């Protein structure tokens, strides 16, 4: 799509709304009971009716589906479950023809055990691709190389009996981590990014991007002094050597440079970190991700005082070039709204108003029933809306807001979201200056 700046010079992702389409349950087009790319294309009328400016697709790559498609077996193809590359190209053309951008979920940290790179890597200790993944001998007395834990609990190391070494996996054992210290790995992933960018993709949401590089010495993670017995096992250690390493910013700057080879593209980072460390992912001079996801509202107590303090702390920490965002919920978190909210607690209405009154203030959200329980449906989407405004401080105050988290069905769009202050309104501005008023 041609580059389109707003009247105030803003980028499309600063003033638009992004809608997350989880492809598998969205719309089935061939009767096999699984959503697919032709199904998404069939629903573009519905998506456009929401007034959004972009769709963000969950992983569509070939995958054994051990982790909902985040175990990628081929970065340059479409899973037959979801269609073909031709189907994707057709969806991209039709979306762009309507002024809709298309963002892909991308998984740079790990692949599937079925990816050809890992099949080669595990074939022998002498294979040229052995160093494409993180392999290590066990401890002298036996057992894994160190105490690192998987994101889902248990050791993050699995013994490969054929070669007698362990491979590292931050998530499932079916998802071995790539070795980003290897220049060949970096170039191969950059090449995969260019494959999609050259087809016309408008950007990427990078999965677990703060975890892509690990301590070169594989040192043990220290105990977490704040750990409580009832918490998940993976919280028992402070992951100071397995995540958020200083070298990660150079890795991300290289990814950003690839994205910047193409005009008007967007790079989003999934990052779970305290604000003071999160904002470093914008880069020292803005060469990091455009939007490092800010998950504070997912993790904080739903209390007005806590939320107000979080907003102030976040805005004070933002660099001058950092564009803010707020995440209301994720596919793995609880819904943002408590089951019962006493009058002294924060409601979604007052929280959205509070964020929108600060300058500049934006929110990124995933639709997950945070406001109202909408009627369930077999084709209900797990989707996101982000709303951003442009213009003067006065208009930004009224227009910067977020779509609330709900499950939407194709038959029931945003009418169930009439829940916020009347002065908080979402506007679509990218297509022929048409204004579509949608309740946030």
What pLDDT does 20 receive? 86
Rounded Cα distance, 120 and 105, in Å? 25
What pLDDT does 351 receive? 52
- Among 147-156, 182-191, 305-314, 424-433, the minimum mean pLDDT is found in 424-433
Q: What class has domain 12-109+182-439? A: alpha beta
What pLDDT does 228 receive? 95
Q: Is the pLDDT score of 439 beyond 90?
A: no
What pLDDT does 330 receive? 58
Rounded Cα distance, 129 and 103, in Å? 30
What pLDDT does 298 receive? 78
CB within 8 A of 264, min separation 6: which ones? 1, 2, 3, 4, 11, 12, 202
Around Cβ 252, how many Cβ atoms within 10 Å? 27
Rounded Cα distance, 229 and 352, in Å? 34
- Give pLDDT tens digits for 40-99: 999 999 999 988 889 999 999 999 999 999 999 999 999 999 999 999 999 999 999 999
- CB-based contact 259:197 (threshold 8 Å): yes
- Average pLDDT of the residues in 250-275: 96
What pLDDT does 6 receive? 54
Q: Is the pLDDT score of 3 beyond 90?
A: no
- CB-based contact 203:191 (threshold 8 Å): no
What pLDDT does 160 receive? 98
* Matching residue, tokens 């406001």: 371
What pLDDT does 368 receive? 26
- Is pLDDT larger for residue 306 or for residue 225? 225
| Residue burial 320-341, b: 16+ Cβ < 10 Å; e: rest | eebbbbbbbbbeebebbbeeee
Q: Is the pLDDT score of 216 beyond 70?
A: yes
Percent of the chain exceeding pLDDT 70 equals: 72
Tokens linked to 393? 């401080």
Domain residue ranges in the chain = 12-109+182-439
Half-sphere exposure for 147 (CA within 13 Å, toward CB): 14
- Give pLDDT tens digits for 169-208: 999 999 999 999 999 999 999 999 999 999 999 999 999 9
Rounded Cα distance, 141 and 157, in Å? 16
- Give pLDDT tens digits for 327-369: 765 555 544 444 333 334 444 444 554 554 433 323 333 332 2
What pLDDT does 333 receive? 54
Q: Is the pLDDT score of 121 beyond 70?
A: yes
Own/partner pairs, 425-428, CB within 8 angstroms, 24+ separation: 425/398, 425/399, 425/401, 426/17, 426/51, 426/385, 426/387, 426/399, 426/401, 427/51, 427/389, 427/399, 428/16, 428/17, 428/51, 428/52, 428/53
Q: pLDDT category, 299, cuts 50, 70, 90?
A: confident
Q: Is the pLDDT score of 1 beyond 70?
A: no
- Average pLDDT of the residues in 418-439: 30
- Give pLDDT tens digits for 131-171: 999 999 999 999 999 999 999 989 999 999 999 999 999 99
- Is pLDDT larger for residue 19 or for residue 24? 24
Mean per-residue pLDDT of the chain: 78
Percent of the chain exceeding pLDDT 90 equals: 62
Q: pLDDT category, 18, cuts 50, 70, 90?
A: confident
Rounded Cα distance, 156 and 141, in Å? 18
């Amino acid at each position: 799509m041609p580059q389109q700046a707003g009247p105030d010079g803003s980028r499309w992702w600063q003033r638009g709304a992004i809608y997350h389409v989880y492809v598998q349950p969205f719309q089935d087009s061939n009767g096999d009971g699984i959503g697919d790319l032709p199904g998404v294309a069939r629903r573009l009328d519905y998506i456009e009716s929401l007034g959004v400016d972009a769709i963000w697709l969950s992983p569509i790559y070939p995958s054994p589906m051990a982790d909902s498609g985040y175990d990628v077996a081929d970065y340059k193809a479409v899973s037959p479950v979801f269609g073909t590359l031709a189907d994707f190209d057709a969806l991209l053309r039709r979306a762009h023809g309507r002024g809709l951008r298309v963002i892909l979920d991308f998984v740079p940290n790990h692949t599937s055990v079925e990816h050809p790179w890992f099949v080669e890597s595990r074939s022998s200790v002498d294979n040229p691709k052995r160093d494409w993944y993180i392999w290590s001998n066990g401890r002298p007395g036996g057992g894994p190389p160190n105490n690192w834990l998987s994101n889902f609990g248990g050791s993050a190391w699995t013994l490969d009996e054929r070669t007698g070494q362990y491979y590292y996996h931050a998530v499932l054992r079916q998802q071995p981590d790539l070795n980003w210290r290897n220049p060949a790995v970096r170039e191969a992933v950059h090449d995969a990014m260019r494959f999609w960018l050259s087809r016309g993709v408008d950007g990427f949401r990078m999965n677990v991007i703060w975890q892509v590089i690990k301590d070169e010495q594989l040192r043990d993670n220290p105990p977490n002094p704040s750990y409580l017995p009832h918490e998940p096992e993976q919280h028992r250690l402070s992951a100071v050597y397995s995540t958020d390493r200083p070298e990660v910013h150079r890795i991300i700057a290289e990814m950003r440079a690839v994205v910047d080879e193409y005009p008007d593209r967007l790079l989003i980072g999934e990052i779970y970190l305290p604000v003071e460390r999160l904002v470093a992912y914008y880069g020292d001079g803005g060469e990091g991700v455009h939007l490092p996801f800010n998950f504070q509202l997912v993790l904080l107590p739903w209390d007005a005082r806590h939320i107000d303090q979080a907003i102030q702390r976040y805005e004070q920490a933002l660099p001058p070039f950092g564009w803010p965002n707020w995440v209301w919920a994720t596919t793995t978190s609880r819904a943002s709204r408590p089951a019962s909210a006493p009058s002294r607690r924060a409601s979604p209405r007052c929280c959205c108003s509070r964020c929108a009154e600060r300058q500049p203030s934006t929110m990124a959200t995933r639709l997950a029933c945070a406001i109202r329980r909408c009627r369930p449906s077999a084709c209900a989407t797990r989707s996101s809306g982000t709303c951003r405004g442009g213009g003067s401080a006065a208009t930004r105050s009224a227009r910067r807001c977020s779509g609330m988290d709900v499950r939407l069905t194709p038959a029931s769009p945003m009418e169930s979201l009439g829940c916020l202050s009347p002065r908080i309104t979402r506007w679509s501005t990218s297509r022929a200056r048409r204004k579509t008023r949608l309740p946030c």
